[in-house]
Amino acid sequence: MKTEVMSTKIDLPKGVIFNAYPDSIGRKLADATRMLKMPEFKDVFSLFYILPTIFNSDLDRGFSIIDYDLNNELVSREDLEQLHELNIMFKFDLVLNHLSVGSLQFKDLLKHGDESKYKNFFIDWNEFWRSHGEMSPDGHVIPDKEHLEKLFMRKPGLPILKVRFPDGSDRPYWNTFYQEVNYQEITAQNLLQAPGTEKLTHKHAENIAALVNDVLIAKRDISEIDLGDFSHLKDEVIAVIEQHRQYQGQMDLNAKSKEVWDFYDETLKKLHDHGGRLIRLDAFAYVHKEPGEVNFFNKPGTWKYLARLKQIADKYDLILLPEIHSQYGTGHHEEVAAKGFPIYDFFFPGLVIHALEWGTTRHLLRWIDELIEKNIQTINMLGCHDGIPVLDLKGTNNAGVSREGLLSDEDIDAVIKIIMARGGRVKNLYGPDGKKITYYQVNATFFSVMGDSNRKMRLARAIQMFMPGIPQVWYLDLFAGKNDYAAADNGGTAGHKEINRRILSNSDIERGLTQTVVRDQLDIIRLRNTSPAFEGELTVINTKEHRLHLSWKYQGAVATLNADLRDYSFSITHSENAGDEGVMAYR
């Protein structure tokens, strides 16, 4: 039976989403729950997007999932029940493309090798490319040039991690994202217990272990080890070293296997049982892989996978939110929306920055008109855990064909320069040759991007609350958080992201609630979260280019924003019935 994704629009939950890690506030989710119970937060949020450290994970601040059980160090079932009592629904992640090397499935593969019941759960690189490339001297297939040139890369070099099987062979497995291989230091006892070393004395074993550990500590290639008089034991010694190899990484799942689809089903049920309603499909565009394709948003394979996922999600009364970063020119956002899915509005942050820095509504209004005309359902944000995706605004598509972007290349470069000048960090994308081809995202707090201006931050929030779609609010932006350079410098491989992830203590929250910029944001968000006007239609009122005039109306309820993008003053008028108009003026 042919499976199709239905194009019927999904009835999305109403209200505003709060976005944070379980330990973004205080030390545990209980602290965030306590904050949301405070009178200042009454009726402010209807949903909580809890990032995936709510589950058991080991890398990439939660996006390297070990399993989808609750992380008991940060979260309790009672926390979730208390949030439900506040009428707050949950949004969770399903990381579709990959799973941690620490997962039960990958550990079983390492332990049992070819006999593992999870042998086909992950993607054996050599098996995948066997008929479409040539074996290299290093033991992995290099895809034919016409295939290699198409591959979409997230890091330098081929996306593989070689793992040691029980038979001593090294097998390359597909690894699109993070990886790290470490060797533990060995002991004399490790050597004495190894096959082929029976004649070693304890003293000799201690000497060999010292030679080996010097190389490991210096992080030199283990093939460089010079064992001197014991060189005839090099193979046996290397085998001992390899037994103590440790991996970290996110291994791509083989979505052609039944086992993976059983896993997806089990996971979606688990997310439902945790109280989930919205499910963000992280990295979904990487899941479908086929030789000869770009392996990012392959078609029609991606649609077939989404259709299968939607059937499972419907069974558990879950709403899927496919997460995709791609340039406006590809039209991917329109394709996903046309299939009936809500999309992330990754275009909005850059458009707001441009509008406030250049005092023009022209590009922002073009996007609003498109959302209304094409009835595209979105979830929008200013800041988030993952950076500001300015390059999404570009018009050039994957085939290099250019169409008008939401901003010109010159405007995009200017926005990036502003963010960098105000302390932003960058994440790059790479080609198959390992050379950088473009920025992927820039990382900064939105408040820092606004030049630490309370007036700009407040207006940016007001614009977000009057945009079509569901607004999502990053906890640090709500509290006017500034760039955390120390965290970015000390964050290792993904350090650039830590600039926008500072943990707020309970005392930080108390101090923050004394700030006008925080209280004003809460008032504006509360209006969006509670007013029935936002369930109706949005009207864009014609005015001067430096002014923004947006009005929502539903039955007798009306909410109107009238803003000046030059001096950042604005007013919000709202009424639920004729004659009961209220005004919020900010100058």
Residues acting as catalytic residues:
282, 323
The DSSP letter of residue 62 is: G
C-alpha span between 182 and 191 (Å, rounded): 19
Token pair recorded at residue 36: 């949301």
In terms of phi and psi (left: phi > 0; alpha: psi -120 to 50; beta: otherwise), the region of 389 is beta
CA-CA distance, 317 to 397, in Å (whole number)? 35
The phi, psi pair for 147, rounded to 5°, reads -80, -45
What spatial distance separates the first Cα and last Cα of the chain, rounded to whole Å? Answer: 61
Q: What are phi and psi of 114, to 5 degrees?
A: -65, -20
Distance CA 330, CA 77 (A): 42
Distance (Å, whole) CA 71 – CA 69: 6
Give CA separation, 12 vs 9, 76, 87, 96, 537, in Å.
Answer: 9, 27, 16, 22, 15
Amino acid (one-letter) located at 395: G
| Rounded distance between C-alpha atoms, residue 270 and residue 540, angstroms | 42
DSSP 43: T
Q: Please report, for the chain, how many H helices and E strands are present, in that order.
A: 20, 24
